[in-house]
C-alpha cells in the first residue's frame, strides 16, 4: 500500500512539473484554392520554462524538391514574416499576444504551391515542442459547360456532355431535368452520375431543360442546357441547294477570271500597237527624183514661152529645189541667165 501511494505521488509531481507541450494534435486540412487556411498551434508552459519564447513555422513543400523553409518567426518579442518569398504577405499569426499560448497562423489566398507539411515549433527553455499539419489545396469545380454533341432530330443518336474547365479530382456528376415531368428518361438513369449521357433513338419526349452539377470535396458548380428534339430536316433539298450554290460560285469565279485575262490581253495589245512602226505607209520620195521632176516641169514651161517674155523670165531666180521633207534651211543661189536658141522670119529670111 505504501508503495502504491508513493507511485501515485511521484506521477502527480511529474505531471505538475512537466515542461512546455503543444496541445494541438497532428492533423490534415483540406481547403479550396483562394480560401484562407487556419493552422492551429496551441501550447502550455510550465513554471520551469523561464527562457525567452521563440516560435517558428516551417514548410516542407509537397514536391520534396526544396528544403524546409521558415515562413514566419517570433523571437525577441518581434515577428518576422518575410523569410519565404512565395508566402510573403499571406501568412500571419492569429493572436496578438503569443505569450498567451496561441501560436496559430492563417495562410490567405491559398495557391496550389502552398500544398505541403507545416510544422509549428515552440521553444521556451528548457521546454521545446512541435506539431505537424498536412495542408492540401484543392480546386473547386468551375467553368462548367453543358452542350449537345450531335444532331437533335427525331430518331438520331447524340450525347449530352458536362465538362468542367477546372476542378480537383475526384469529381461527382449529377444530371437533373428541370422542365416538364422533371424526371429523367428511364433509359438515361445509368448515366445520371456520369459526365456524358448517351441518347439513343431520340424522341420529342426528351425535349426540355437539363442541369448538370459537378461536386468535389471543396465545392460545386452547375450548368444548364436546353434540348429541343425536332423532326428530321430535308437533307436532299439541303444537299441540292449546296451543290447549286457551289456551281454558281464556280461560274462566278470563272467569269471573273475570264474578264481579268481578257482585260490584260487588250492592255498588252494596245501597248504593242503603240510601239510598232506602221508598214502600210510608203517611204518618202528621194530628193533626186523630186528635183528632176521639178526641173522638167520648168523646162516644159520655158519651152512654151514666147520670145517676148523670155527676157523677163531669164531674170527669175531659182531659190531652192522643193523637197517633201523640208528638212533643209532655205537657200538662195543665183542662177546665170539662161541662153535659149530661137528662130523667126523677117522679110522672108529665117534668123536663128
* Per-residue pLDDT tens digits of the chain, which is 352 residues long: 444 434 333 343 333 345 789 999 999 999 999 999 999 999 999 888 888 999 999 999 887 667 889 999 999 999 999 888 999 999 999 999 999 999 999 999 999 999 999 999 999 989 999 999 999 999 999 999 999 999 999 999 999 999 999 999 999 999 999 987 778 888 899 999 999 999 999 999 999 999 999 999 999 999 999 999 999 876 656 677 788 888 888 998 988 988 888 888 887 777 766 655 555 555 555 554 444 444 444 444 444 444 444 444 444 444 444 444 444 444 544 555 544 444 445 455 554 5
Angle at 165 (CA atoms; ends 162, 170), nearest 5 degrees: 75
* CB 35 within 8 Å of CB 45: no
Residue 116 makes CB contacts below 8 A (sequence gap 6+) with 59, 60, 61, 62, 135
Q: Which helix (H) or strand (E) holds 16?
A: helix 2-16
Confidence (pLDDT) at 255: 87
Q: Which of 104, 51, 113 is nearest to 76 (CA)?
A: 51
Q: Which helix (H) or strand (E) holds 3?
A: helix 2-16
Confidence (pLDDT) at 244: 86
Confidence (pLDDT) at 101: 94
Residues in the chain: 352
pTM (whole model) above 0.95: no
User: For the chain, how big is the Rg over CA atoms in Å?
Assistant: 59
Distance in angstroms (rounded) separating the CA atoms of residues 59 and 77: 22
What pairs with residue 175 in β-bridges? 212
Confidence (pLDDT) at 58: 96
Confidence (pLDDT) at 181: 76
What pairs with residue 206 in β-bridges? none
Alpha helices in 221-347 (DSSP H): 235-275, 287-303, 307-314
What pairs with residue 138 in β-bridges? 32
Q: Which of 54, 53, 55, 59 is nearest to 71 (CA)?
A: 59
Compute how many other C-beta atoms are within 10 angstroms of the C-beta atom of residue 144.
21
Q: Which of 191, 190, 186 is nearest to 203 (CA)?
A: 186
Residue 317 makes CB contacts below 8 A (sequence gap 6+) with 332, 334, 335
Confidence (pLDDT) at 282: 57
Confidence (pLDDT) at 179: 84
Confidence (pLDDT) at 146: 97
CA distances from 176 to 16, 192, 222 (A): 62, 8, 11
DSSP structure class, residue 52: -
Confidence (pLDDT) at 7: 39
* CB 84 within 8 Å of CB 71: yes
* CB 210 within 8 Å of CB 225: yes
Distance in angstroms (rounded) separating the CA atoms of residues 227 and 210: 8
Amino acid at each position: 500500500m505504501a508503495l502504491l501511494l508513493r507511485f501515485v505521488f511521484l506521477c502527480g509531481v511529474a505531471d505538475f512539473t512537466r515542461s512546455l507541450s503543444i496541445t494541438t494534435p497532428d492533423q490534415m486540412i483540406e481547403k479550396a484554392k483562394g480560401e484562407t487556411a487556419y493552422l492551429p498551434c496551441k501550447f502550455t508552459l510550465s513554471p520551469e520554462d523561464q527562457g525567452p519564447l521563440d516560435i517558428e513555422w516551417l514548410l516542407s513543400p509537397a514536391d520534396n524538391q526544396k528544403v524546409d523553409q521558415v515562413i514566419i518567426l517570433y523571437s525577441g518579442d518581434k515577428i518576422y514574416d518575410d523569410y519565404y518569398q512565395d508566402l510573403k504577405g499571406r501568412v500571419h499569426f492569429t493572436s496578438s499576444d503569443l505569450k498567451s499560448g496561441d501560436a496559430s497562423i492563417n495562410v490567405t489566398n491559398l495557391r496550389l504551391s502552398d500544398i505541403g507539411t507545416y510544422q509549428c515549433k515552440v521553444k521556451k527553455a528548457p521546454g521545446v515542442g512541435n506539431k505537424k499539419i498536412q495542408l492540401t489545396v484543392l480546386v473547386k469545380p468551375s467553368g462548367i459547360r453543358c452542350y449537345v454533341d450531335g444532331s437533335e432530330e427525331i430518331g438520331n443518336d447524340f450525347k449530352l456532355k458536362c465538362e468542367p474547365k477546372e476542378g480537383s479530382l475526384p469529381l461527382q456528376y449529377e444530371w437533373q431535368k428541370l422542365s416538364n415531368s422533371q424526371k429523367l428518361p428511364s433509359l438515361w438513369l445509368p448515366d445520371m452520375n456520369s459526365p456524358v449521357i448517351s441518347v439513343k433513338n431520340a424522341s420529342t419526349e426528351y425535349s426540355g431543360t437539363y442541369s448538370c452539377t459537378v461536386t468535389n470535396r471543396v465545392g460545386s458548380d452547375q450548368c444548364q442546357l436546353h434540348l429541343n428534339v425536332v423532326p428530321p430536316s430535308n437533307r436532299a433539298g439541303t444537299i441540292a441547294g449546296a451543290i447549286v450554290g457551289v456551281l454558281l460560285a464556280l461560274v462566278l469565279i470563272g467569269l471573273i477570271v475570264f474578264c481579268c485575262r481578257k482585260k490584260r490581253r487588250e492592255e498588252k495589245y494596245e501597248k504593242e500597237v503603240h510601239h510598232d512602226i506602221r508598214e502600210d505607209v510608203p517611204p518618202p520620195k528621194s530628193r533626186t527624183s523630186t528635183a528632176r521632176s521639178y526641173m522638167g516641169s520648168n523646162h516644159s514651161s520655158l519651152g512654151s514661152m514666147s520670145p517676148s517674155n523670155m527676157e523677163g523670165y531669164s531674170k527669175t531666180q531659182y531659190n531652192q529645189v522643193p523637197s517633201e521633207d523640208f528638212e533643209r534651211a532655205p537657200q538662195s543661189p543665183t542662177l546665170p541667165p539662161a541662153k535659149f536658141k530661137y528662130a523667126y522670119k523677117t522679110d522672108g529670111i529665117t534668123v536663128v
